[in-house]
Amino acid sequence: MTTLRTLFADTSGRSTVTIIAVLAVCAALCTVPFFVHNPYLLHIMILIFLSTIMGESWNILGGYTGQYSVGHAAYFGTGAYATMMMLQFRQVAPWYGVWVGLAAALVVALVIGSICFRLRGPYFVLASIAVAEILRLCTLNLPSFTNGAEGILATGLPPFTIGETVITDFSTKVPFYYIGLALALLTILVTWLVQHSKLGYFFQAIREDQDAAHSLGISLTLYKNIALVISAMLTSLAGSFYAIYVGFVDPPTVMALDISVQIVLICIIGGIGTIFGPVIGALVLVPLSEALRSNLIASLIFKIGLVSPDSKFGGFLNDNLAHAHTLIYGILVVIVILFMPDGILGFLKKLTARRKGGEA
């Protein structure tokens, strides 16, 4: 692992290189909508941004502070519902509704924190799942407040204006692309700031050994809650973004356990407790799950002539591979976890370290 100190002080050269590389990638990403007009491709990019936001947010609590929450759907759903309810029930534009979501996520986080942080290790994990499930059931069973199982459908977004000028009317995917990009950069920036401050040191000390951290003057309650609040509020932003992008929320799509699991996987696959781990996780998982879902694998098998689509087995594959996408996805995830315990980023670092070692 690159320690804080090495990134911060004596290798400022490497740090500068990273910053320049990030800026260059950002600039390139800003120009993408000018030459990519395929809505599906833009959709995939937006999903990658969304996953990055979710992963980076979780990473602050799970990756840096070592508190493995498997209940982040609670904050995602809170952001999504708050924005949507403000939009549909109160006619408040999402860029104001987002703030309601953030405030709600703050409250939910402090309540959940006061319950779950009494527990450590696997008990904390179970409690985080349970509390998120309670929130989902409440959302489902309070139809007068949330519309219950029916969910909320956005009937249209008001155009975004500054003064009299209409900046965008949200008729294409391009504005969502830029919002997603901006939010993803925001979460990366927040993570960078955390890592390069006292907070980052205290979070990681808590992750490595709670009792040692406690005895070194770190208030466990205070710093765990700070990590949770940052993490929850950023996750709620992801939820708000999802809600206005998709235009529909209901408990299974924004509050369910599989969203919590998905968030954790982004980090585990990419590399936990690192700034760019969740980016890698999103870059790998989003295209993978899209490919599996849209049966790209079956068509690929037919294309390279491995199996004929007209044969019995080909027909079977064609009919079932798409349905099996969660299964295949799960198997791939297990393989990555088994062979790259530090995620893809950790694996790549180890490879380069080994190569350097070999040359020396």
Partner 1 sequence: MAILEIKHVSKFFGGLAANADVSFALEQGMIMGLIGPNGAGKTTLFNCITGYYPPSKGEVLFDGRRMNGLQPNKVCKLGMARTWQKVRPLAKLSVLDNVMVGALCRTNSLKIAGELAMEQLKVVRLEQKARFPAGGLPIGERKKLEVARVLATQPKLLLLDEVMGGLNPAESAEIIQLILDIKGRGITQMVIEHDMKAIMRISDRIVVLNSGEKLAEGNPHEVVSNPDVIAAYLGQD
Residue 259 touches partner 1, criterion: CB under 8 A: no
Nearer to partner 1, 133 or 342 (CB): 342
Nearer to partner 1, 11 or 18 (CB): 11
For the chain, the maximum distance between any two Cα atoms, rounded to a whole number of angstroms, is: 69
Residue 266 contacts residue 254 (beta carbons within 8 Å): no
Residue 189 touches partner 1, criterion: CB under 8 A: no
H or E stretch including 192?
helix 174-195
Phi, psi angle pair for 79, to nearest 5°: -65, -45
Residue 88 CB, shortest distance to partner 1, in Å, is: 44
Strands 248-249 and 152-153: antiparallel
Residue 283 CB, shortest distance to partner 1, in Å, is: 24
Residue 197 CB, shortest distance to partner 1, in Å, is: 7
Nearer to partner 1, 13 or 163 (CB): 13
What is the C-alpha separation between 328 and 322, in angstroms, rounded? 10
**Which residues are paired to 153 by β-bridges?**
248
Give the one residue of 44, 196, 287, 290 binding partner 1; rule: CB under 8 A: 196
Only one of the segments 26-34, 38-46, 195-203, 280-288 lies at the binding site for partner 1 (rule: CB under 8 A); that segment is 195-203
127: nearest Cα among 119, 139, 137, 138: 119
Residue 114 touches partner 1, criterion: CB under 8 A: no
Kindly give the residue spans of alpha helices, DSSP state H, lying in 2-93: 4-8, 12-35, 39-59, 73-90
Residue 352 touches partner 1, criterion: CB under 8 A: no
**First-residue to last-residue Cα distance in the chain:** 20
What x/- string results for residues 267 through 306 when contact with partner 1 is judged by CB under 8 A? ------x---------------------------------
Residue 282 CB, shortest distance to partner 1, in Å, is: 23
Residue 12 touches partner 1, criterion: CB under 8 A: no
Residue 339 CB, shortest distance to partner 1, in Å, is: 20
Residue 64 CB, shortest distance to partner 1, in Å, is: 11
Residue 208 touches partner 1, criterion: CB under 8 A: yes
Report helix, strand or coil for 197.
coil
What is the identity of the amino acid at 202?
Answer: F
Nearer to partner 1, 48 or 61 (CB): 61
- Exposure pattern of 321-359 as b/e (b: 16+ CB <10 Å)? beeebeeebeebbeebeeebebbbbbeebeeeeeeeeee
Residue 2 CB, shortest distance to partner 1, in Å, is: 10
How many CB atoms sit inside 10 A of residue 226's CB? 19
Residue 197 touches partner 1, criterion: CB under 8 A: yes
Residue 219 touches partner 1, criterion: CB under 8 A: yes
Phi, psi angle pair for 217, to nearest 5°: 95, 10
Give the one residue of 58, 176, 202, 245 binding partner 1; rule: CB under 8 A: 202
Residue 209 touches partner 1, criterion: CB under 8 A: yes
Query: Which residues here bind partner 1, judged by CB under 8 A?
Result: 1, 3-6, 8-9, 196-198, 201-202, 204-205, 208-209, 211-220, 273
